[in-house]
Chains A and B, each alone.
Chain A
Amino acid sequence: MPLEPVTQVTGRAVFIPGADIDTDRIIPARFMKCVTFDGLGEFAFYDVRFNSETSEKTDHPLNDPRFAEASILVAGVNFGCGSSREHAPQSLRKYGFNGVIAESFAEIFFGNSTTLAMPCVIATAADIAKLRDAIDADPTTSVTIDVDKLRVSTSGGLDFPVTMPDSARDALISGRWDPIQELLDNDAAIVAKARELHYV
């Protein structure tokens, strides 16, 4: 299947503070009134990036010009919790993010992101804090997520281990992050299973 393996992603990073950042925060529900995912990028984190009364930009990190080129998102615990909306990882992807490093992820968000070839890796709170300080001190710091070796390193010399479920790592590095072809290939087994299940 002709998918690009995702073994490494590299880019500048931005830290988004806060625990339990839910998918309503990542993409407010009103922007889900759409029949395609195109154009969702500009609405990522909309309600925390813009003041609701004045529509002016807030001091959210994504509005900070120092982080304008960031393509790696760094966050705290339980990132992407709440609604299963794929609009959330889609909006991050369309915004330009290629990878996320956090203390933990909500499962549906994690799965959706993997299927979009956006690796989500888990780091300790201490390593996230060091990474945050490093990118704050120098926003041009280049951060690399090595999906194959399960490490995150920076141009400033940080280097720490991260984790990710084997199946997701495998899917990314072998270019099988979108499972559709493999699912389709097992058609005979699917039909046999359907026959076996009394209610189908």
Chain B
Amino acid sequence: MGKSLFQKVWDAHTVGTLADGRTQLFIGTHLIHEVTSPQAFGMLRDLGLKVKFPKRTFATVDHIVPTINQDAPQDPLAAEMMQALRKNADDFEVTYFDLASGKQGIVHVVGPEQGITQPGTTIACGDSHTATHGAFGAIAFGIGTTQVRDVLATQTLALEELKVRRIEVNGDLRPGVYAKDVILHIIRLLGAKGGIGYGYEYAGDVFDRMSMEERMTVCNMSIEGGARCGYVNPDAKTVAYLQGRPYVDMSDFDATAARWLSFASDADAHYDDIVRINAGDIEPTVTWGISPDHGISISETIPDPAKAATAQEKASIVEALEYMKLKPGTPIKGVEIDVAFIGSCTNGRISDFREVAKYIQGHKVAPGVQAIVVPGSQIVAIQCEQEGLPKIFTDAGFEWRGAGCSMCLAMNPDKLVGDQLCASSSNRNFKGRQGSPTGRTVLMSPVMVAAAAINGHISDARELFHIAD
């Protein structure tokens, strides 16, 4: 029996077995940011330890950066965190893509962009969306701050091996259905906790055909499905994307590429579970509630607690509807929005902005709606400018901002106010996620966010933009 990519990478990085039975796993690449690292560096100092492999540690600043006047946070706490990262990067000699570098951005956009994210490697970051890097055939974990300390000090983690679930999506996606819809659909089917104990392998025609950026969108939200990591097997697209990027060693690229590809799952690999999904069943999907598995297709109605199968499901629907102030049994289409947000590590890459720009020319954001567009990195922002995208957005009434996490979790000035409802291309619709304790989030693809912004209410982008089947 062959091995899955997960097993190959796991085996290649196993240092040994710990006394409690866990594996000591070597972490090839450690990404850090300002929110979850200062305490870890503090612990390192308390223990009198150094960073074991400073060259394998890469820092950037993303969560707290303002998207207007990036380098001048008005918030003294934000300024303190930025200073702490600067000092830690200097003291411990870690590469830091700071604001002045022109390479700053959301950590999960920066890694792939720089070619730091590579197939067959292990990656850890104190951020649950680290699974994004799995798009390249890496095993990438989100970790807690004490574990950030462990990686800094030893370049290893104490981990329990995961089971692997292969999720095959075969067939053709219909026009107007995006990678975001695919992952929202998967989470809807398998549940927000369906992936607990698993790593997800995404396979089949749909992922084979996806661009690297689309694969990142899918892997990004593995954690929303409860999986600790998610990946797509590396292929010619993966190699082509990485070729020539700054951190890719080009000295013997053919050998490097061959090694990368050798990590792909064997045809007879063992899986603990296999799920098959028909691509044609996937519709543009939006959330209606407060958990990422509260998803429905754009043409469906908001669930009715009276029709819930179990008491627990009923209670969860009631709680969600109360918070979202939505009526059961009514269409999700037509629900008014206050804010539209395009950005985040899920959908803040060049392809996302290009795709939206294709459709919004000649349209205007509805009166009363604030629509903000936030590139995932400074490099994405520059690319957008070179292609003239900011003007297309601003002409249509969107605000064009600087790179960062922005309104995905609102640790910066971009926040919802009161019970504003936001059509968002980000990844989490938890209560209070976008900065207001009563703010409401409806997750969807960037093109669907644009349609909602223009109509002023949740809409089927295929109708507004004449995306034909």
Contact = CB atoms under 8 A, between A and B. Distances in A.
Interface string B111-139: 00000001001000011100000000000
Interface string B73-91: 0010110110010000000
Contact of B52 (A30, A106, A176, A190): A190
A167 B128 contact: no
Given A84-B143, A106-B226, A19 B316 contact: yes
Interface residues of B, number: 75
Nearest to A37: B39
A156 to B, nearest CB: 25
Contact of B146 (A86, A165, A174, A197): A86
Contacts of A20: 192-193, 291, 316
A155 interface: no
A77 B81 contact: no
Contacts of A18: 319
A108 interface: yes
Nearest to B227: A107
Interface string B192-229: 11001100000000000000000000000001001010
B102 interface: no
Given A84-B143, A111-B144, A47 B437 contact: yes
Interface string A12-53: 000000111010110011101111110000000001100010
Contact of B42 (A25, A32, A36, A86): A36
Nearest to B39: A37
Nearest to A112: B144
A8 to B, nearest CB: 18
Contacts of A5: none
A30 B410 contact: yes
Given A35-B80, A180-B150, A106 B196 contact: yes
B26 A193 contact: yes
Interface in B78-110: 78, 80-81, 84
Contact of A190 (B64, B118, B128, B156): B156
A78 interface: yes
B13 A104 contact: no
B158 interface: yes
B28 A36 contact: no
B77 A34 contact: yes
B56 A200 contact: yes
Interface string A167-200: 1101100101011101110110110011001111
A174 B16 CA distance: 19
Interface string A58-89: 00000000000000000001100111111101
Contacts of A194: 26, 53, 155
A116 interface: yes
Interface string B428-457: 101111011110000000000000000000
Nearest to B44: A180
From B20, B121, B411, name the one whose CB has the most chain A CB atoms within 10 angstroms. Answer: B20
A166 interface: yes
Contact of A25 (B36, B160, B431): B431
A153 interface: no
A91 to B, nearest CB: 12
A189 B81 contact: no
Contacts of B53: 194, 200
Nearest to B155: A190
Interface in A98-124: 104, 106-108, 111-112, 115-116
B35 interface: yes
B21 interface: yes
Contacts of B319: 18
Contacts of B26: 190, 193-194, 197, 200
Interface in B153-184: 153-158, 160
Interface string B30-45: 0000011011001000
A171 B81 CA distance: 33
Given A83-B128, A182-B18, 6 more contacts: A52-B437, A78-B193, A86-B145, A115-B147, A179-B150, A189-B16
24 contacts: A19-B312, A19-B315, A20-B316, A28-B432, A29-B433, A30-B410, A33-B64, A35-B81, A36-B38, A52-B436, A78-B226, A84-B126, A85-B35, A86-B145, A89-B144, A90-B145, A125-B312, A166-B20, A166-B21, A183-B156, A183-B157, A186-B154, A189-B16, A200-B56
